[in-house]
Structure 1
Amino acid sequence: MDGSKVALVLATSAGGVGRHVRSVADGLRERGAKVVVLGPASADELFGFTESGARFVPVEIADRPHPLGDVRAVARIRRLTRDADVVHAHGLRAGGLAALARLRTAPAPLRLGPAAPPLVVTLHNASIAGGLTGAAYATLERVVARGAAEVLAVSPDLEERMRALGARSVGLALVPAPATPPSPDLAPSHEPESSQDARPSQGTAAPSRAAAVPPEDHAAAKRIRAELGAGDAPLILTVARLADQKGLPTLLDAAAGWARLDPPALVVIAGDGPLEAGLRDRIAEENLPVRLLGHRTDVPALLAAADVAVLPSIWEGQPLIVQEVLRAGRPLVATRVGGVPVMVGDAALLVPPGDAGELERAVRRVLEDRALADRLASAAVERASRLPTEDDAVDQLLSVYDRVMRTVF
């Protein structure tokens, strides 16, 4: 791969996709590739491509269809990738526009330019939109399936969909959570506490934390609980963007049941997004035991403090937060969607999406059954040891790039 030119393309991203592309860019450069990243200027500000030493060229690709802006983006991608050895687009929007950029003219979907570089597309999300937006995304799926030399999907259902649409080659993407530097809050204490003193007793409603949380994490956990005013209450944590895909209305439905625990559980949601105002209004109107924390950078400390992590999403691929939960050795309750079952194996309780009753009962089981909580925590640690690494992801991509650059289609 030494000296090969790789163009990475991404659309507007607020989280996981941008972090993954940054990780890929860094890994490819370390292996000797010449990398250029094409994406919205906001992506460079959020993920620091230029600061890392990568070449970044702004190309405004919105997260939703924008006809005039999309035409401009296609032309710009075509011009900027003309001398690339391989183009790797991340996400359906970026992938669709990158596929169109390989064409001589848009009306001829199979007529490629004479020097069009091979295209790899990683699909990170399924579309849950309906109406005209949903139709536009379905069209982009067909464009990607027909225009990409390789499609990497983050979940088995996306793999199946791409194969059904006639994609040439489809594989499962590796999207590991970037390594998280140790938080100052999680540094070893000079006087580590015993596991029995890690936090106040919670009676019959609290799982044992000794199996998963090492002594050096106790100070961070106690600080977080004091900040939240959790007291002896079981602490339920969700880390998610406040958006439709994340299933947060179902979480609020279930929270009413957790309020009847003794002592009542406290639910905290770390993240921001477009649903914040509506969620905040509902929490106040129904007097739910839920707190919105906004964007947080201390997720490891939040996990150390939590009794159970919850992922109530309608759909997920390989969510980074699930990998963080597993690495932290915390009990997890998640929805049985997308790539989640393959990721977690037996290290989580899985429930149907949108079923508040099943979600409420599963979380209650973890909070009331110490043996179950300990089993899930131990299984999480074991599962985390088998998660792919950032090096694994780069190795996979180098193999894919080598294959598509040797293939004429």
Structure 2
Amino acid sequence: MRVLMVVGRAAGGVGAHLDGLVTGLRAEGHDVEVATADSTAEVFGWDDAHLLWPVHAGARSPRGLVDWHRIMRLAGTVDLVHAHGHQAAVVAAVAVARARPRPRLVVSLHNDLPPATGSVRSRVPVEVGRRAVGWALRRADLVTGASDDLVVLAESLGARRTELANVPSTSVAGLLHADRLPPGERARLLTGAGVPPDRPVVLTVSRIAPQKDLTTLVAAAGSSRAAASWVVVGDGDARLLTRLEEEAHGIREQGPAEGAATRAGVHFVGARDDVPGWLRLADVFVLTSRWEARALVVQEAMAAGVPVVATRTGGLPDLVGDTGVLVPVGDPDAVAAAVDRLLADPAARARLGTEGRSRAAAWASPEDEARRWTERYVDTLSG
């Protein structure tokens, strides 16, 4: 089977999922090609990817026109085109509509559409984009959502055939059997990142992006009464990071003092290639996103046996279940209270960590999901 994957700029979970899926499909003997933006190919080391992304090249620019022509021609050489994300759905739908012979089209939704709020001027691009995505989904032979609410969204936009498709993390298997980081390694990792090694760690692994609502995280750290270090691993929007660091500036660390409340410290340590080590030393994992589907990093925290505090949004309630603490979106006091309760109760942390790890052990592996995708492709081609 020949499959063309189409994805735009993706530096986080979507790209990581696609990387694992391509690997799994190729291992099964399928011929899989990828068309993507230059930046995405660089992040994931896709040396054989077709660097075709007309959206950011400018649809009417010389390069944009060339990219459109090339991706349409490429679509005509495969059995099936699989688009990942909203913009990729539109690009792939246009390419498939013009391709000869016409391949089948599959679209996977990984994120919610932005809300049409604000002034009329600001709403117009969102509404136009929503109509374009709806057009693409109606042309697709199959639309999958990474969470139930995305399946509902696809149906509301007119998708003819929909299905829930879980997105597994390739790191879960290794973390399921990994012990806590030994004290010496823990101290070296924390000290090397400028984080005090003598207190509990409240960990967040996240892109620096508005969707992640790290403003709520910083405010929660300021409200926390526990003597803990809050650590954010990840990079992204430089201007947003500067603002977050300014907001966190007044949150100073001090040891427990008689009769005085302690204040948490917030450490932005940037992108790291040792995330499993951070998960193995964390005492609590926190994700304050405004919306998530099936967040890979929450899967990984659960597999590592770290109790999770996450917002009650998107696919997170189904993912976490009763093995973690769910809090309202945008409520720093609720986040701080949940963290403080867990840090004050080692037995509760151990129980939730064990239950989360057991839940993670029952999930399908990336290899299982690759085989499931082969079945979906076969069904789509024969339908």
**What is the TM-score when the length of structure 2 is the normalising length?**
0.87
Partner of 2:5: 8
| 2:158 pairs with 1:166 | yes
User: How many angstroms does 1:240 deviate by?
Assistant: 0.3
Residues in 1 aligned to 2:303 and 2:312: alpha-carbon distance in whole angstroms: 20
- Cα distance change on mapping 1:135 and 1:74 into 2, 3 Å: farther
Q: CA deviation at 1:257?
A: 1.5
Whole-angstrom CA distance in 2 between matches of 1:328 and 1:366: 16
Match of 2:339 in 1: 363
Distance 1:79 1:215, change over 3 A: closer
Question: Residue type of the partner of 1:223?
Answer: R
Q: Deviations over 1:146-204 (max 9, x none)?
A: 1111011111111011112221111111211123797xxx9xxxxxxxxxxxxxxxxxx
Look up the SS of the partner of 2:97 in the other structure: coil
Aligned to 1:273: 236
Q: Deviations over 1:355-380 (max 9, x none)?
A: 11111111111111222111111111
Residue in 1 aligned with 2:220? 254
Gaps of 5+ in 1: 105-112, 187-211
Partner of 1:35: 32
Q: In 1, distance between residues paired with 2:65 and 2:127?
A: 18
SS in 1 for 2:350: helix
How is 1:232-247 mapped onto 2 (pairs within 5 angstroms)?
A: 232-247=198-213
Q: Distance in 2 between matches of 1:374 and 1:223?
A: 24
Ranges in structure 2 where 5+ consecutive residues have no aligned partner: 117-122, 253-263
For 1:59, the equivalent position in structure 2 comes to: 52
**Partner SS state of residue 356, structure 2:** helix
> Equivalents in 2 of 1:269, 1:181: separation in Å?
23
| 8 Å Cα contact 1:65-1:133 kept in structure 2 | no
Cα pair distance change 1:327/1:291, threshold 3 Å: same
Once residues 297 and 125 of structure 2 are traced to their aligned partners in structure 1, the CA distance between those partners, rounded to angstroms, is 27
1:387 corresponds to 2:353: no
Q: Is the 8 A contact 1:271 1:296 kept in 2?
A: yes
1:49 aligns with one of 46, 49, 62: 46
1:33 maps to a residue whose letter is H
Q: CA contact under 8 A between 2:75 and 2:96: conserved in structure 1?
A: no
Match of 1:93 in 2: 87
1:221 corresponds to: 186
Equivalences, count: 360
Three-state SS of the structure 2 residue aligned to 1:318 is coil
Secondary structure of 2:378 counterpart: helix
Contact 1:236–1:309 (CA under 8 A) maintained in structure 2: yes
Mapping 1:128-147, distance limit 5 Å? 128=114, 130=116, 131-147=123-139
> Is 2:80–2:106's contact at 8 Å kept on the other side of the alignment?
yes
Q: Residue deviations 1:39-60, cap 9 Å, x none?
A: 112222221223xxxx421102
244 and 129 in structure 1: CA distance in 2 versus 1, 3 angstrom threshold: farther
Counterpart CA distance in 2 for 1:369 and 1:133 is: 48
Counterpart in 2 of 1:110?
none
Q: Is 2:370 aligned against 1:398?
A: no
Among candidates 239, 247, 253, match of residue 282 of structure 1:
247
Judge which range, 80-89 or 367-376, deviates more.
367-376
**Which range moved further: 25-34 or 277-286?**
277-286
Hey, what does 1:79 align to over in structure 2? 73
Q: Aligned partner of 2:133: which letter?
A: E
> Is it true that 1:177 corresponds to 2:164 in the alignment?
no
After TM superposition, what 4+ stretches of structure 1 lie above 6 angstroms from structure 2? Answer: none
CA distance in 1, matches of 2:382, 2:76: 17
2:114 partner SS: coil
The sequence identity of aligned pairs, in percent, is 35
Structure 2 distance, partners of 1:245, 1:181, is: 28
Match in the other structure for 2:111: 125
1:273 partner amino acid = G
How many angstroms does 1:89 deviate by? 0.9
- CA drift at 1:139: 2.0
Counterpart of 1:305, as a letter, is L
CA RMSD of aligned residues (A): 2.3
* Stretch of structure 1 that moved more, 381-390 or 67-76: 67-76
Relative to 1, partners in 2 of residues 1:285 and 1:367: Cα closer, same or farther, differing over 3 Å? closer
The one-letter code sitting in structure 1 at the alignment partner of 2:40 is A
Distance of 1:135 and 1:41 partners within structure 2:
28
TM-score by length of 1: 0.82
Q: Which amino acid aligns with 1:81?
A: A
Shift of 1:135: 2.1
Counterpart Cα distance in 1 of 2:178 and 2:196: 18
1:133 Cα shift?
4.0
